[in-house]
Amino acid sequence: MKKPIEIVFLKEAEDYHQELPEKIKKKFLFSFYKVKNGYKGEWFKKLKDSDGIFEFKERGLDKFYRIFAFWDKTFESKVLIVGTHGINKKSNKTPKKEIKKAEKIKRLYFNNKPKDKNGTYNTR
C-alpha cells in the first residue's frame, strides 16, 4: 500500500508562504495538491547537485517564486515533504546559497527529529 503524502512547512517556509500575493499562494496550493496526488511536473522537481533538495516553482508577472523542500520517508503511516524556506527572484536560475541553506536545514531537521515513527512529529 502506498503511503499518503503530506506537505508541511517549517516556520520560515510557512512565513514566506503567508506573505505571498494571493494569486501566487493559490498557484502553490494547486501545486501542492498535484504533488500530494502523485502528479509529476515542472512545478516540483529535484535540484541537480543537491543532497535531496527539491523546489516548488511558480512564476508571477515579473518574479519567480520558489519554496525549497525535502522528503521525510521515516514515518510508518505517511511520507512528508518538508518545506524549508522560500525566495523571490528575477531570474529562473536557483542560487546555490539557497540550495546550501535548504541542505543545512534538512540536516538539522533529521539530527533533531525524535525517533517517533507514527507520524505525530510536529514540524513547527
Q: Give tens-digit pLDDT for 73-102.
A: 988 899 999 999 999 998 878 899 999 999
68 CB burial (10 A radius; 0-12, 13-18, 19+): buried
CA-to-CA distance for 113 and 123, rounded, in angstroms?
A: 9
- What size, in residues, is the chain? 124
Q: Which residues of the chain have pLDDT under 50?
A: 119, 121-124
Task: Note the pLDDT of residue 118.
Answer: 53
Model pTM?
0.88
Block residue for cell numbers 541542505: 103
What the chain holds in terms of domains, given with CATH numbers, is 5-112 (3.30.2310.20)
